[in-house]
Structure formats: structure tokens, C-alpha cells
Amino acid sequence: MNNKPKIAVFASGNGSNFQAIADAVQAGKLKADLALVVTDRPKAFVVERAKKAGIASFAFVPKEYDSKQSYEEMLKEKLQSLGVEWIVLAGYMRLIGPVLLEAYENRILNIHPSVLPAFPGKDAIGQTMASGVETAGVTVHYVDAGMDTGQIIAQQSFAINGRDQRMVEQEIHAIEHQLYPATLQRLFNK
Ligand code: GRF
């Protein structure tokens, strides 16, 4: 019997968090069935990563659709036809709309490179550095209709300690690549 949760990862860019998830699945540390990568940017590097990892990917171009509602209807059908149960956002640069929020209520997750509720939205690391705060970090949260406002599931922070932005970014990504797969594993096995 296969009772592993079926997940789709949504990404728009590099896909290092997708990679960490795929590696954790491959290593048996994350017991999930990684069914699909969805991207809104056909040329994103995550597509290469998916191919290499042997995971199916699906790219769409949002502006070829009339509205967010119409491309989300299309995505919903695609995900449901594959039996996808969870949507895992990993650098997906679009807000999720009502169609997917209703179809996947409390089953959409995101990772964000700040200690939410501080610094939601774009360039969270830049915002963190510019503000002069002493700590940076990462949050995994449920997705709701707002920008990085859903219920927090896990957070990890660290002292910036005079480090420059590049070093802080490196530390954040290192934390993300551990925290996301570990949090998913905890959540799916509740
Ligand atoms: C990560 O920093 C994540 O927290 C944010 O977007 C970035 C995606 O990086 N939401 P990658 O594409 O997974 O490398």
C-alpha cells in the first residue's frame, strides 16, 4: 500500500529548495511522493533540476491566460488528475488565488527567508539587512490569501553578527534546505 502524501512543488527560479526536497525524498528522510514540479517560468533552472531528478515538470505562461482564475482552474485540474494532496511553494513568485486556496485549504505551504511577521514580500533578506535588525532567519508557514501571512509552522533564526548580505543569504539558504524537508516530514506524519 502506498500511503505517502502526494505533493507538487511550485517554483519560479533556481529551485535549490526543490532540490533539497527531492534529495530528502530520494534519501528516504522525507516520506512523500513528489509527483510534479510546477513553474510559471518555462526557462527557470528548476526545470533542469526536475529533469535531472527524474521528476515530471509542468511549465505554464500566466499571460497566456485571461486571468489568475483561469490558469488556477487549469492547474487545479492538472493537480487533481494526478491526485496531488499538498502544494509546496518553493520560491514561487505569485500569490495563490481563491481557486487553489479553496481546493487545497490548509494544504499549501511556503518557505520565506525572514522571521515572519517581519519582512514579508519581495527581497526579504535585503529588507532584513537594510533595517539593521540583529537577527535573520527562515519561516515555514501555511499559505492564505495574504502576502506571507498564513499560520506559522516552523521558524529558525540566527544572529547576523556583522556578517554581510552575501553571507547572511548563504546561511539562510543552508537553513532552508534543512528546515523545509524536516518540517514537511513532521507535518505529513502527524
Ligand atoms: C528562497 O529563499 C525561499 O525562501 C524564497 O525564495 C527563495 C527560493 O530559492 N521563497 P530557490 O529557488 O529554492 O533556490
pLDDT beyond 60 at 1: no
- Can you tell me which atom of ligand 1 is nearest the CA of 16? 14
Q: Which residues pair with 112 in a beta bridge?
A: 139
Nearest CA to ligand 1 atom 14: 16
CATH 3.40.50.170 fits 6-188, yes or no: yes
Residue 46 is predicted with a pLDDT of 98
CB-based contact 130:160 (threshold 8 Å):
no
Active site residues: 112
C-alpha–C-alpha distance, residues 150 and 136, integer Å: 19
Residue nearest to atom 10 of ligand 1 (CA): 91
The domain ranges of the chain are: 6-188
Render pLDDT for 49-79 as a digit per residue (tens, 0 to 9): 999 999 999 999 999 999 999 999 999 999 9
Ligand 1 within 6 A of CB of 181? no
